[in-house]
Structure 1
């Protein structure tokens, strides 16, 4: 029911959150 780009954003956000120990985690959060 969600647009494909929204699902992609959720997947990317989940991947960044799961690797929060890496510097890319906080950087990705600021991207939002």
Structure 2
């Protein structure tokens, strides 16, 4: 089923984007404990 594979691919891409954005935020604005 092609749609299912596409959905999974989009989800993985979205997770990678969120992770990259989080890394960028932590690097640019380090949270001081």
TM-score tier by shorter-chain length is 0.5 to 0.7
Q: Which structure: larger Rg?
A: 2
Structure possessing the higher relative contact order (Cα contacts under 8 Å, 6 or more residues apart) = 1
- Unpaired stretches in structure 2, ≥5 consecutive residues: 24-33
Matched residue count: 21
TM-score, normalized by length of structure 2? Answer: 0.53
- Unpaired stretches in structure 1, ≥5 consecutive residues: 23-32
Poorly superposed stretches of 4+, deviation over 2 Å: none
